[in-house]
Structure 1
Amino acid sequence: MESRPRHYFFFLVLLLPASLSSSSNPNPRRAYPRNLFRSAESLIRDLNLLPGIQQLGAEIEVKDPLSPRLVERRLDLRILGESGSEIPVEQLGHHAGYYRLEHTHAAKMFYFFFESRGSSSDPVVIWLSGGPGCSSELALFYENGPFKIADNMSLIWNDYGWDKVSNIIFVDQPTGTGFSYSTDIRDLRYGEKGVSDDLYDFLQAFFKEHSHFLKNDFYITGESYAGHYIPAAAERIYRGNKEKEGLQLNLKGFAIGNGLTDPAIQYGAYADYALEMGIISQRAHTSITKIYPLCELGIKLCGSSGVISCAASYVVCNSIFTSILLLAGNINYYDIRKECEGSLCYDFSNMEKFLNQDSVRNALGVGNRKFVSCSPLVYEAMVTDWMKNFEVGIPALLEDGIQLLIYAGEYDLICNWLGNVRWVNSMEWSGSQLFNEAPLAPFTVDSKEAGVLKTSGPLSFLKMLDAGHMVPMDQPKAALEMLRRWMKGSLIEEQYITAAAVM
């Protein structure tokens, strides 16, 4: 009897793509694909921000065993406006570099590093964008980096860049993302073990190069599919510290914005969120929720190491999201208040124009390598990683006092706040009861409500108001305040803490 649900699951998997692709659809771009791997270009938009094709590498490179693994250059970029820093502009440390990944055949990981506009003693923060396969330069230029790109290709200081309160790293990962590359196809990563091991090796080399930052507090941040990357990386660093593998990284916390972490719970929230926000009708909600038990079964069969069942559950579960889009019209599923403009929902073309200029490539040390925002090759390689649950490793980190912040913009559909708050509330750890009983509180910035906060011990959840998938882009000031306060130990506005103490 136990085998019957499995057979039923795989039988329906065979039927489902054909039935969905034959349904009427005014927008062919969102039609459900007939073939799993051909699905990358259409479904890449689910958690990616830009499609595009990036090969791992075209030229053959000769390894020099005597060459340094990490090669970094100082950037001298002309940035318009005032930096808002007491440190002279010429002394602000802006860097770009490549790290030749230690446990690979020929992989090189590209990164930016911006020293703080505040103080060198500020925490070190690493930012990971999602996809899988999308470059962190998306965040650098459109969300929380030191500067933005004007239409005339000039750089303009970002008044709310996260480098105002931290020394921040933006890294292109996994291999094949952005400017990171390999000349050996064997360096593609298919799951979080390879991804987290590469990040750990990179951070070991980075802090060896920048040893004066080793004592600083260290935080991992990111959004979207980084809801997988971040817990895996935090666990890898935590384990490396415990086992004294290398340099002891001063890991204090990790933050996930609009992430995909526990798919079984989050996919169950899609129809509920869509109904609540008026995207679908009650009748459609009833119909779409009938898909979920099959999705849930697929994720259960996927477990932590499945391959065929993980790929099958990817197809089934994403049909929930696709079904909503078929009914929703031309919405931007990263921000349902907006229409999807063109094939990308956002226009990020200035970034590709800027990074593909010869002068910029020369300054970055990437040679003639073309920059592509998101890599379908990396996306396809990670398909069987998609439905795995990365909530499971978090409780051990919380128990040891590692801080966790989950935040989500209220108008994002693809990784909506409802699915995120549900998995956070359901997580079992010693402080779960206290967290679930904690009252909701306003998250205020300049005495105005910018979000709704729930916090207890090392765990915090923040629903950010008036924001979509990319919170630092939609609410830059509130996002910067969120980071600053969280790293200082309290998300509550300081004046309210003072008032409460007086009372």
Structure 2
Amino acid sequence: MMASYISDIPGPLKLINFFVHCIIISSFFNAGLCFLNVYPKVRQIPVTGDPGEPLFLTPLIEAGNINEAKKASRVGVLEGAEHIESYSGYITVNKSFNSNLFFWFFPAESNYNTAPVIVWLQGGPGASSLFGLFEENGPFYVSKKYVLKRRKYSWTSSNSVIYIDNPVGTGFSFTESDSGYARNETAVGNDLYTALQQFFLLFPELQKNDFYITGESYAGKYVPALGYAIHTKNPTASVKINMQGMAIGNGLSDPEHMLHYGDYLYQLGLIDLNAREIFHKQENLTRSYIEEKNWNKAFEAFDLLLNGDIYSYGTLFYNLTGMKNYFNYISGNKTQKGGNSDIYVQLEKVRRAIHVGNSTYNNGNVVELHLKDDVLQSVKPWIEELLESHRIVVYNGQLDIIVAYPLTVSYLQALNWSAAASYKTALRYKWHVGNELAGFVKHAGHLTEVLAWNLLFDSKNGFFNLTGFDNYYNYLHDRGSSLNGSYDIFVQKTSTRKAIHVGNSTFHTIDKVQNFLREDFAQSVKPWVEELLESYRMVVYNGQLDIVVAYPLTLTYLQALQWSGAALYKTAPRYKWQVGHDLAGFTKTVGKLTEVLVRDAGHMVPGDQPKWALDLIYRLTTNKPFH
């Protein structure tokens, strides 16, 4: 009966009726001053017309025909990109299996001879790096009419950027044998290294330039894998790569130390204490399989926890939250706008209409000063007594900070009343208004606990001094740019295929690469990161709104790193990162490690905050501090 009743919780008007004869409390009693496959599935379309032939550059490079290879790889004219120079083609990384990596290279639009060279690697695993090119940080995006439009903030404006479909079998990259697919990060790193050796023969003028490896999501493994390959092979290589650093965005790098989804989701108010315990059990099970090196079981345990790639029924994440979007939990949220009601009510005609005359419209400071001594006192005993005879609804807006949902739940757990034990074990249900998920609700005795989706409590305090951010009740002040979703169709058009020299090659979906890297999922690249940090600058950045590779999870893994700066990192201060007048996020730097939290961004940081992401990559490539 209860489940049926809760699932049918009505909309606002009936909810108000539900509150009749209830005491409504707005959370101010104990107050004080998977794969990580977040990318859309590629929509494959049939090849039509004459797309030309694929361009395999390795034979020309090996024959020393560099000028011919470069000329052949020049991308043809594309509407909207007539003045953008770029090069593309295939580089063979394993002749035995005919394994080929596809790349699309954009020379820096300014200072090409000295500009840093960046390689961008998408995650997935199995997501095409063309997603990053068109949706996040490339020189243009694809319009709804399938025409290229210039992006305001492009990494190619001051950097030469290589987008590689990696690993083999991703995007336009392919192999003719199952044995050619990567099964671990050593293979991923070796294939990328082989491709870059040939790339720098094709563009020898760039060998002296600073080189950086970047990527997001599952590229939290790719980036260290390639970095480690370069680091170990460079001393004896005939083509040396001038690697200076790397950037990992929302990266899965060390799963064992990053399995804290339960605590994080609880902190966000998306699950309750009981659900957190369920998460903890599944996380501990996953860890046990990792300790046993039972990688297949470890993947299955995680898949049930969050990702849902192999289970037809819902994951714990979906079943307990009702959400499918785990890389940005407020996707589609609109910018909070200020109102003008305070001005309006002081207009002459309004004052006259509402009979207030020339009375002062107070700002509340005086009242606040008079209640200073009351702020930290509690009304908990009164609540306990009232619950014995009156229904009480305690609700929180999900986005509040000053009176956050976890803080409210902590106090509700401490209440001493007749239904206290029932409350602690009660189930929490989804609350729908029409077809919308409005929030979550729990009943016990006369108490109803409600978490309202995307609502906030308006109040003030002084935490600006510590964070530099004055919007403490909703840290999503600005949503940033949205991603366009037509690039996969665009790159499969006949004209595009012909221009970028892929012929009728398949633009692969993610599935096969995922399957082959299944046992790689729960394995760690932590030792490589530790060694790389002794020699190379590394930026590890996270979008604040991400769930799947959340900032707290990344911090847990960074805290576990064993390197020369480990002790200093744990005690280092965190600073504000400003881009112009914008508070872009927070950062700390110790030795060669820089940790960055990007505000108002989800899993795909360059797509959500392109201006700030460009500043981030600029600081990496110029070795300019973040504060």
TM-score (normalizing by structure 2): 0.64
Instruction: Determine the structure 1 residue equivalent to 2:534.
Output: 399
Instruction: Determine the structure 2 residue equivalent to 1:287.
Output: 278
Amino acid aligned to 1:311? N
**Whole-Å Cα distance in 1 between the matches of residues 41 and 515 of structure 2?**
12
Confirm or deny that 1:318 pairs with 2:298. Answer: no
Amino acid aligned to 2:542? A
Confirm or deny that 1:472 pairs with 2:606. Answer: yes
Deviations 1:25-49 (A, max 9, x none): 9xxxxxxxxxxxxxxxxx55x4241
Paired residues of 1:133 and 1:376 also in contact (CA < 8 A):
yes
Task: Name the one with the larger helix percent.
Answer: 1
Q: Tell me, what secondary structure is at the counterpart of 2:329? A: strand
**Whole-Å Cα distance in 2 between the matches of residues 296 and 315 of structure 1?**
12
Amino acid aligned to 2:276? H
Give the greater-gyration-radius structure (CA): 2
1:454-469 correspondence to structure 2 within 5 Å: 454-469=588-603
C-alpha displacement of 1:492 = 2.2
Q: Tell me, what secondary structure is at the counterpart of 1:169? A: strand
Unaligned residue ranges in structure 1 (runs of 5+)? 1-24, 26-42, 55-60, 82-88, 303-308, 494-503
**Whole-Å Cα distance in 2 between the matches of residues 164 and 66 of structure 1?**
31
Deviations 1:446-475 (A, max 9, x none): 122110111112101111110000000000
Deviations 1:47-84 (A, max 9, x none): 24123599xxxxxx9x9996546955112434649xxx
**Whole-Å Cα distance in 2 between the matches of residues 203 and 380 of structure 1?**
26
**Whole-Å Cα distance in 2 between the matches of residues 489 and 352 of structure 1?**
35
Deviations 1:352-391 (A, max 9, x none): 221111111111111122424x420010000000011111
Confirm or deny that 1:379 pairs with 2:370. Answer: no
Residue of 550, 556, 566 corresponding to 1:416:
550
**Whole-Å Cα distance in 2 between the matches of residues 423 and 180 of structure 1?**
31
Residue of 140, 149, 158 corresponding to 1:147:
140
**Whole-Å Cα distance in 2 between the matches of residues 350 and 456 of structure 1?**
41
Instruction: Determine the structure 2 residue equivalent to 1:220.
Output: 213
Residue of 368, 371, 392 corresponding to 2:504:
368
**Whole-Å Cα distance in 2 between the matches of residues 464 and 179 of structure 1?**
31
Residue of 126, 134, 137 corresponding to 2:127:
134
Q: Tell me, what secondary structure is at the counterpart of 1:408? A: strand
Residue of 97, 109, 131 corresponding to 1:117:
109
**Whole-Å Cα distance in 2 between the matches of residues 50 and 250 of structure 1?**
34
Q: Tell me, what secondary structure is at the counterpart of 1:353? A: helix
Instruction: Determine the structure 1 residue equivalent to 2:73.
Output: 73
1:167/1:473 CA distance change after superposition, 3 Å: same
Confirm or deny that 1:258 pairs with 2:243. Answer: no
1:100-111 correspondence to structure 2 within 5 Å: 100-102=92-94, 104-111=96-103
Amino acid aligned to 1:454? K
**Whole-Å Cα distance in 2 between the matches of residues 393 and 410 of structure 1?**
26
C-alpha displacement of 1:195 = 1.1
Paired residues of 2:119 and 2:212 also in contact (CA < 8 A):
yes
Instruction: Determine the structure 1 residue equivalent to 2:446.
Output: none
Residue of 561, 575, 581 corresponding to 1:427:
561
Identity %: 31
**Whole-Å Cα distance in 2 between the matches of residues 133 and 51 of structure 1?**
10
**Whole-Å Cα distance in 2 between the matches of residues 65 and 378 of structure 1?**
23
Deviations 1:394-417 (A, max 9, x none): 1222212x0011000011111111
**Whole-Å Cα distance in 2 between the matches of residues 103 and 386 of structure 1?**
27
Paired residues of 2:483 and 2:607 also in contact (CA < 8 A):
no
**Whole-Å Cα distance in 2 between the matches of residues 442 and 152 of structure 1?**
40
Paired residues of 1:124 and 1:216 also in contact (CA < 8 A):
yes
**Whole-Å Cα distance in 1 between the matches of residues 584 and 332 of structure 2?**
23
Amino acid aligned to 1:276? Q
Deviations 1:141-168 (A, max 9, x none): 0000111111111111112111112100
**Whole-Å Cα distance in 2 between the matches of residues 482 and 97 of structure 1?**
29
Q: Tell me, what secondary structure is at the counterpart of 2:161? A: strand
Amino acid aligned to 2:117? V
**Whole-Å Cα distance in 2 between the matches of residues 398 and 416 of structure 1?**
22
Q: Tell me, what secondary structure is at the counterpart of 2:540? A: strand
**Whole-Å Cα distance in 1 between the matches of residues 119 and 494 of structure 2?**
27
Paired residues of 1:222 and 1:255 also in contact (CA < 8 A):
yes
| Root mean square deviation, CA, Å | 2.6
Amino acid aligned to 1:412? D
Q: Which has the higher contact order (CA 8 A, sep 6+)?
A: 2
Instruction: Determine the structure 2 residue equivalent to 1:249.
Output: 241
Larger mean Cα displacement after TM superposition, 291-300 or 142-151: 291-300
Deviations 1:207-266 (A, max 9, x none): 011000000000000001111111111000000113x13311101101100010000011
Unaligned residue ranges in structure 2 (runs of 5+)? 1-6, 8-33, 45-53, 307-314, 334-434, 436-481
Instruction: Determine the structure 2 residue equivalent to 1:438.
Output: 572
Instruction: Determine the structure 1 residue equivalent to 2:37.
Output: 47
Amino acid aligned to 1:252? Q
Paired residues of 1:274 and 1:324 also in contact (CA < 8 A):
no
Confirm or deny that 1:335 pairs with 2:328. Answer: yes
TM-score (normalizing by structure 1): 0.79
1:300-319 correspondence to structure 2 within 5 Å: 300-302=291-293, 309-319=294-304
1:76/1:282 CA distance change after superposition, 3 Å: same
Larger mean Cα displacement after TM superposition, 318-327 or 226-235: 318-327
Amino acid aligned to 1:75? V
Deviations 1:317-336 (A, max 9, x none): 23222312222213421110
1:62-211 correspondence to structure 2 within 5 Å: 68=61, 73-78=73-78, 80=80, 90=83, 92-102=84-94, 104-120=96-112, 121-211=114-204
Deviations 1:102-141 (A, max 9, x none): 4542111110000011211111000000111110001000
Q: Tell me, what secondary structure is at the counterpart of 1:290? A: helix
Paired residues of 1:48 and 1:132 also in contact (CA < 8 A):
no
Confirm or deny that 1:451 pairs with 2:585. Answer: yes
